[in-house]
Structure 1
Amino acid sequence: MAPKRVVIVGGGFAGFETARSLLRARTPEDDIEIVLVNPTDYFLYLPLLPEVAAAVIDPRRVTVSLPAALPGVRLALGSVHTIDLDGRAVTFTDPEGRDHELGYDRLVLAAGSVNKLLPIPGIAEHAHGFRGVPEALYLRDHIIRQIELAASTDDLAEREARCTFVVVGAGYTGTEVAAQGPLFTTAIAALHPVLRDQKIRWLLLDIAPRVLPELNPRLSKTADKVLRARGVEVRMGDTVEEATADGVKLKSGDVVPTRSLVWCVGVRPDPVVESVGLPTQKGRLIVESTLVVPGHPEVFACGDVAAVPDLTRPGECTAMTAQHASRQGKLAGRNVLASLTGRKLGRYKHHDLGFVVDLGGKQAAANPLKIPLGGFPAKVVTRGYHLVAMPGNRVRTAVDWLLDTVIGRQSVQLGLVRAPQVPLDTDTPEVPHLPDRPVRQ
């Protein structure tokens, strides 16, 4: 008899924990093959991505090798684009463009989320996304380049535009990027005497009435105070109406010359959900509290792609957070094994333990166990939480934090923005430039 195959789509918080939970729960007698389909060979710890963009920690700290962390799990590199529920098979495309088909006995959909784009002219062409390591490194290079180009020009209008950075979205990610930004650009500008008296502007925009609307007003006020103390122009009730290569036009009518627009408006479930053809709620697959897709006992869904009933708040679904995704993944792994061995499935019920928001420097906002904290105590809680929650690289991350405190951050470009193509023939006298997206200098 061939082993039962469990295919997990996605290696984020939900998918990673599903695989790890299933590995830990199975016994030698359980003849199960676990296959994890993911575009990369690593798990990405998203909450620390703003610190990568601000050069506080090395990008390798937020990436954990899936083969190393999940021994015994077969990794299939690629992106799933078709799911055949009747044939019990998924089709994915590998990094080299080849299609592969995987049959399954149990399927776990945990593909996560992607950037949410709004129909605003110029956004797709001129905004920087912020959902992965390449985007974080690209943004890091872009910010450094803008400061260095500002220092090299005598055109005061151009210098001001290059020293202006606009962040759209005052949720967790946008707030952390806007909080880290001034510390980063100040450190870079200090290396250029010509920018000694140059004002560096950071703007945070959102149509919401306050920063971090998901948190209670006290923590929102704490974050707002930190942002304003760093010189961030917090503009609630305002957003981008149009983006161009030279600036943005705001809903309020103001025109802000800038070369930097960071898009942190929000996320939506991965488009693979649409290909399944099953009922959804706000783009998320409807599932039972056991994480089973109704009518398909062999299919489970968890994390951002699943509308999981919140048993602690009847009538609502769990939020799209890493906290829920991780815990749902753990249950999904146990329930998959239970479904294969004829045992009873558990139901998902979890009370929020609070949230943490790192505001850079010695500042943070947190509410562990519903206790609101700000300043340095919140910073200790925030970093402690991250070290516990990370599935790897804890010591290296802590060392990077220590080095940032003692000797500061590095401020060199890695050649990711409008860099010339590196030819095989290094003697080639002229190398064409490959324009990136957005096309800016």
Structure 2
Amino acid sequence: MFFDRPDSGELAILVHLELPQFANTDDPREFEELVLSAGGDPVEMLSGKRSAPHPKYFIGTGKLEELQDLVRTHEAELVIFNHELSPSQERNLEKALECRVLDRTGLILDIFAQRARTHEGKLQVELAQLEHMSTRLIRGWTHLERQKGGIGLRGPGETQLESDRRLLRARIKTIGKRLDKVRKQREQGRRARSRADIPTVSLVGYTNAGKSTLFNAITNAGVYVQDQLFATLDPTMRRISLPDVGAAVLADTVGFISNLPHRLVESFRATLEEAASADLLLHIIDAAAEERLHNIEQVDLVLEEIEAHEIPRLLVYNKIDLMGDMAPRIDRDDQGRPVAVWLSAQQAAKDGSGIEMLFTAIADLLTEDIFHESICLQASMGSLRARLYRQNAVQSENFHSDGSCELEIRLPEVDLKRMLSAEKINLQALINSKDEGSGVQRLAV
């Protein structure tokens, strides 16, 4: 794009080294899945061990010769490393192998570029690509001195490399301003929901854990679902109705992955802010995955990086249909608070099994005090009665001969107080005015 590179292709040789600093995080199987998600055709994987990366080629000279033989044998057009390479290492490897070389960051960026569908998503991908590319501009330019000459044109001029760097910085600045505008728009939406007391619940989790499948099962949103890494890139938000809570917003976000480069987290901060500002996080976990614990740790690390680690969280163990005959259930702590829900998003999409349990657990965590009692409304309080019905708070209703009515209501106490404040009515007066002994006890949830 900004510099000359060898033509790329799909036949790829994969390189994975076991290094002490990445012993517990790099997974060759996940690496291969990433390549397949990008549309690559991996024909061979070269693996090995080193105590530290080689400063010039990342791999040792012996492995480099093996890699050269593999490239010639398979006529590969692309070599992909499961590590982050320095610009000089990429340049040296491309010169030695005579084919395109891509590192883990470049691979993830390529997948993101394929998945982005919305204007915001495309801006975020381009920003991440430009920031990644900015350190690699020098590799393609051998004609750096392009100062103008001639009468009236002599001077220090500007090299081609400096010109391209200036254009790159200008484009990065432009995209940054646009994303700031997106961030402000999202912040306005969050403030509006906050003023209306509409809570936000965000789905987070490792990539391919089943977030979008569960999101579709709950909302029928028709979000793109595929059994591949990073199938979802753009955030989607839908309004849902929860018991005892009422309206809430459910947000689907991009999946996390091991060693997610810091620049990607920065570029996607406008999207991830939906998770960072949520009232509750649903951490979706692939319950059937062997690396389940490792994936949970990686998600926790990203949540800490975007400062969302202190938000209340509910673990949702998905794909229990792959674990034998297991029924949906809720796990609670000693105080009765939900800590985990076990379900299958695939099965929930078919018959809704587990969704009601999930909604109950979410409502339990979002609501503190539930007002469940009978109140007496005079005939002149029709406006308050209408508000209660709009909130779906009325459990039963009995009319008296004087035109008053006794309502059994159930709703969050904060919502009731807000309604009464708008109507300028005292709650205790409503409770005292009902018939003696007709009240129902207040429940704390």
Q: TM-score, normalised by structure 2?
A: 0.23
Q: TM-score, normalised by structure 1?
A: 0.24
Larger relative contact order (Cα-Cα within 8 Å, sequence gap ≥ 6) = 1
Higher-Rg structure is: 2
